[in-house]
Structure 1
Amino acid sequence: MRYFWAAALAGISAAGTASAGQEPVPIPTEFPRVMPVAPPILAPAPPPPSPYARPVRPKGNPAYWVTSVDYPAEALREEVSGVARFRLIVGTDGRVTQCEIMATSGSAALDATTCNLVTRRARFDPARDEAGNPTVGTYWNAVRWVIPVYMPPPPGSFTETFDVDNFGLRKNCRVISAKGDFYEKGPGDCGGDRPDYFRGQVAGKPALRVIRSLTITIANAPDQTGERPATVRALRPAGAWPVSGTRVTEAIVETDGTISDCRVTSVTGPLAEVLKVNTNDCPRRFERGYAAANGQIVRALVRMTDTTTVEQLSQPTAKPGKAAGD
């Protein structure tokens, strides 16, 4: 250790000795002048925002503008999903004056339905200018279209009634009777009112009273269904105009919830003009299959008998108008 420190000190000493024999380094007598730097120019602070100016604000929950029951039948049939991003121009009255798709969902049907429903249902508190006066504003949002997957319907029956007024509003929805597990709430308000369920279809149509009865039975599916005619997939939208008639639909539900065969086996009444036998209007699958009494999941044959009776309450309207409160 002593040798290490001695060698280090010797090195420093030798370096000092070597520099002592050289010419002295001249010391400069003049130095470059450093110009002073001007202080930064600070821009004046912007004026505080007006306490009155604000953007548009949705009235109610935007999630109710478009729901799963609004899924276009064409997109359901093709199992198309996607996200439609849109921009709205909102007028001084809080109504949508223009809807533009900024990023497509990949489906023309989903994009068109998005703008159609949002334009019709969305209501806003209008934007305000600096003086607090209503002004035109913009609003951005998106609708995520996801193929709905439902639980398999349990056996049972129910009867409901509702009215459709001259503005296309579905009102006074009531459950008259309910049996089994299909409708757990029993008689009473069915909670099915939709403010504009049939709007856009009321021109030339009367106000209606609709009575609908649905019965569902579940049985073990046969091992083989035999040769059956091919079906035509044709889904009626949830908001299709009510038509009187009775339809019977049979579907085979596999253990994983997949619907392997679905067809309308009979149609009677005026409904036969818009719905044909061997039409497949079932979803492609349920969330799960059916369980037997012992808990084992089994293939099931589901039979649905759906009867609709339509009564006319008023004369047809020549042209749809604006509903009160819109």
Structure 2
Amino acid sequence: MLLTATLLALSAAPMQERRIQQTGGAAAREKEEKQQQQQQQPVRAKPIGSPGAWVTSADYPPESRAAGESGQVTVKIEIDATGKVSGCTVATSSGFPRLDQKTCELVTLRGKYEPALSPKGKAIPSTSMMRFGWSATDGT
């Protein structure tokens, strides 16, 4: 059985633009611009460990395996300000409700994140999109 996990996109608060004062040389302006960008950019939530370990071949629902069900499930993961998965919804179904449900169940149970940070460095809730693949074939 083959299971895959793909990180699709993470989101956090939108970036803000600020003007750089035209003082000093070009190098000073570039340095100031870089510092301001670093201070203003939110930090996205980051999975702790490998998301592929959240959903493993040992988790394959026996009924789905017996029926030869397989497919890709894309889920929207809600992450609270502590990094805990607080919700999971199917964004794109595998075509098999058991696999979709099992994916969200496992992501909610096992998923852990470093929380997203606001531009001011405060931990904030965020969302992440992730794709997991279920394959009933294991080469035997």
TM-score by length of 2: 0.71
Alignment root-mean-square deviation, CA:
1.7
Letter in 2 for 1:49: Q
2:37 aligns with 49
1:1-326 matches, within 5 Å, as: 46-47=17-18, 48-51=36-39, 53-149=42-138, 286=140
Q: Which runs of 5 or more structure 1 residues have no equivalent in the other structure?
A: 1-45, 151-285, 287-326
Helix, strand or coil: the match of 1:74?
Answer: helix
Give the number of the structure whose residues are more often helix, by fraction.
2
Task: Find the aligned partners of 2:95 and 2:128 in 1 and give their Cα distance.
Answer: 22
1:276 aligns with none
Query: Cα distance, 1:139 vs. partner?
Result: 0.8
Task: Find the aligned partners of 2:37 and 2:97 in 1 and give their Cα distance.
Answer: 41
Query: Cα distance, 1:148 vs. partner?
Result: 3.9
Query: Cα distance, 1:130 vs. partner?
Result: 1.2
Task: Find the aligned partners of 1:127 and 1:50 in 2 and give their Cα distance.
Answer: 14
Query: Cα distance, 1:57 vs. partner?
Result: 0.4
Bigger relative CO (Cα 8 Å, ≥ 6 apart): 2
Q: Which runs of 5 or more structure 2 residues have no equivalent in the other structure?
A: 1-16, 19-35
Letter in 2 for 1:142: R
Alignment identity in percent?
A: 29
TM-score by length of 1: 0.32
Note the alpha carbon deviations across 1:152-201, whole angstroms, 9 max, x for none.
Answer: xxxxxxxxxxxxxxxxxxxxxxxxxxxxxxxxxxxxxxxxxxxxxxxxxx
Higher CA-based Rg: 1
Letter in 2 for 1:66: V
Query: Cα distance, 1:63 vs. partner?
Result: 1.0
Deviating 4+ runs (over 6 angstroms): none
Query: Cα distance, 1:123 vs. partner?
Result: 0.3
Query: Cα distance, 1:50 vs. partner?
Result: 4.5
CA contact (8 A) 1:68 1:148 kept: no
